[in-house]
Structure 1
Amino acid sequence: MHHRELGGVGSVTEVGLGTWNIGGDWGDVSAEAGRETVRTALDAGVDFLDTADVYGDGRSERHIRHVIDERNNRDEVTVATKAGRRLDPHTADGYTAENLERFVDRSRENLGAATLDLLQLHCPPTDVYYEPDVFDALADLRAREKIANYGVSVERVEEGLKALEYPGVETVQVVFNPFRQRPAELLFEEANRRDVGVIVRVPLASGLLTGTIGRDAEFPENDHRNFNRDGDAFDVGETFAGVPLDVGVDAVEALEPHVPEEMSLAQFTLRWILDFDAVSTVIPGSTTPEHVESNVAAADFDPLDHRLHGRVRDVYEDQVAEHVHQRW
């Protein structure tokens, strides 16, 4: 597995593992299936795991701790978690030093870690990025060695650009894939210029970019692809990358003829993402061991040629951009 620098955090594998799937909001996933997903990723060479304190109310964090403890390899794995979404209501004024420390302490317990490798603000309201006190609180947590590094997970490019103004921010996590291309413009350029790591989430657009979801697809009641299609629970950009399902299926059908025979559509997508130098790591999630291994293998393919990148850009501009480009 190839490695890239993740800001000041250190070197991590190009393909990591996102663990939203094994925590909640993706239908029923047993504890053993969740843990086996983490084991499969580690066995495949992954050394970067991304989680959050609200994924199954800490379930995802606890699965990671269980596997790391049984392997006794904590020093070999970088674990990034997130904080802030436990606030109810989730408002900017809740991002106080006291609340952040409380969330960090809970994640430290869930993960069995004295110091969190990387703590990210979890898609806070935009106003938070204009509050220096919030970032001062993160710096204080780092000074007291409760966290080793801090960064942000953002919904909008504007938020990422604002976060980059704070010198302590080491990473920016953002939705990026062939159906959400705006970050490749100014955000990637600025992150690269400032040596800030970029973590790409929702790379497969909630499964759309696997080519296995049709227009009439049905999902369990407790799967966000059912209950959040219109943004009823959280930002709609987290579900199918914000692309209406029928539009996304049409765009997938336009992409598929350009995928090289030796690659799946998911591998093609991940390879496309990794072709952007500003990207430090991409974090697809899955609960299927075969899919985890296939995702990891995407890093072994050669970069896509300019012709294929042009085809992806054409599909985006012709069919998708009007639905997402200016929104996020």
Structure 2
Amino acid sequence: MNYRKLGGTDIEVSEVSLGTWQVGGGWGGGFDEKAAAKILHEAVDGGVNFIDTADVYDDGKSEAAVGRLLKERSEQLYVASKCGRQINPHVSEGYTPEALRKYVEASLKNIGIETLDLIQLHCPPTAVYRRDEIFELFDRLKEEGKIKHLGVSVEKVTEAELALNYPNVKTVQIIFNMFRQKPADSFFELAKAKDVGVIVRVPLASGLLSGKMDRERVFDKNDHRHFNREGQAFDKGETFSGVDFEKGLEAVAALKDVLGEEEPLAAWALRWILMFDQVSTVIPGASRPSQVKANLLASALPALTAQQMEAVKAVYAQYIKPDVHHLW
């Protein structure tokens, strides 16, 4: 495992880390504590030291599983959680310092720790990025010792750019993958100039970039890949990165032609992300330990060649860019 600096913080994080949206249950099943523990321990065994969770993942069960992990391991592990998605309706007016404080304190209790290494606003409405009082709250929480750093998780590049206006924002979590390349246009350089860490989520486009799906794939009715393809429940960019499933499969076939099939496409997709030195860490999820092992292969793969990088860009331009680039 290789490690990278997390922006302007004092934290060195594993370049491949772990996201816990589907830990212990996948996206369609109930939560399984034993499965979650196996996944989390597999990640740490592989050198992962940064774990991203959220209070809304499995109604807090994900956070609690991370808390149990911390008690069972002696390694230095860093925990990031998120707050704000419990606000319903999810509008800017629902974001208040009082509400967010309660969410942060509840996460600390749920995980069983006194201080969060990183707390992130969880994809708030765009208007929130213009409300100084929301960001000022986290300065107070830091003074109180409840958090070490503040970050934001965003849907759009424009929101990421707005977040950079606040000096206390130390990280931006954003969707970036072979099917969502817009952040590399200009945002990455802006983040680097301000020494803000970039955390990449949805790196495999909800599994499309695993290379293991076909047109006959059926998803559980509780799986967002079944019910959210057009954004019925939340931003559709979170599901297959906003890419049409059929068109995505065509693009995957083209990528396999470029990269070959000696190594899994998922590992190459993660390695492609790590080619961008502005990225601090990528946080693929896993619903079983074998997926963790497969994801960690990316850190050991050789760099993509200049020709391969150009070929990936060409596949994106042909199959994906006209449909998604302007939306996020």
TM-score normalised by structure 2 residue count: 0.97
SS at match of 1:218: coil
Paired position in structure 1 for 2:52: 50
After TM superposition, list the pairs within 5 Å mapping 1:33-182 onto structure 2: 33-73=35-75, 76-182=76-182
SS at match of 2:177: coil
Counterpart residue identity of residue 151, structure 1: G
Paired position in structure 2 for 1:15: 16
SS at match of 1:12: strand
Paired position in structure 1 for 2:228: 228
d(CA) in 2 for partners of 1:25, 1:63: 14
Identify if the C-alpha distance between structure 1 residues 132 and 97 changes in structure 2 by more than 3 Å, giving closer, same or farther: same
Counterpart residue identity of residue 225, structure 1: R
After TM superposition, list the pairs within 5 Å mapping 1:198-209 onto structure 2: 198-209=198-209
Whether contact under 8 Å (1:14, 1:299) holds in the other structure is yes
Counterpart residue identity of residue 86, structure 2: R
Paired position in structure 1 for 2:215: 215
d(CA) in 2 for partners of 1:282, 1:71: 22
d(CA) in 2 for partners of 1:109, 1:223: 28
Deviations 1:133-171 (A, max 9, x none): 111111111111111100100000000001011111000
**What are structure 2's unaligned runs of at least 5 residues?**
none
Whether contact under 8 Å (2:198, 2:280) holds in the other structure is yes
Deviations 1:293-314 (A, max 9, x none): 1211211112111100011000
CA drift of 1:71 comes to 2.3
Whether contact under 8 Å (1:58, 1:110) holds in the other structure is yes
Paired position in structure 1 for 2:188: 188
Paired position in structure 1 for 2:34: 32
1:310 aligns with 2:302: no
Show structure 1 runs of 4+ deviating over 4 A: none
Paired position in structure 2 for 1:269: 269
Whether contact under 8 Å (1:8, 1:196) holds in the other structure is yes
CA drift of 1:264 comes to 1.0
Whether contact under 8 Å (1:23, 1:58) holds in the other structure is no
CA drift of 1:25 comes to 6.6
SS at match of 1:250: helix
Counterpart residue identity of residue 17, structure 1: L
d(CA) in 1 for partners of 2:111, 2:33: 15
**What are structure 1's unaligned runs of at least 5 residues?**
none
Instruction: Give the count of matched residue pairs.
Output: 326
SS at match of 1:298: helix
d(CA) in 2 for partners of 1:304, 1:204: 17
SS at match of 2:124: coil
- Tell which deviates more after alignment, 119-128 or 214-223: 214-223
SS at match of 2:174: strand
d(CA) in 1 for partners of 2:32, 2:24: 9
Counterpart residue identity of residue 35, structure 2: A
d(CA) in 2 for partners of 1:260, 1:208: 16
d(CA) in 1 for partners of 2:152, 2:123: 7
Counterpart residue identity of residue 15, structure 2: E
Structural RMSD (CA): 1.2
Whether contact under 8 Å (1:51, 1:82) holds in the other structure is yes
CA drift of 1:197 comes to 0.2
Whether contact under 8 Å (1:24, 1:55) holds in the other structure is no
Whether contact under 8 Å (1:203, 1:270) holds in the other structure is yes
Whether contact under 8 Å (1:178, 1:269) holds in the other structure is yes
- Tell which deviates more after alignment, 30-39 or 115-124: 30-39
SS at match of 1:233: coil
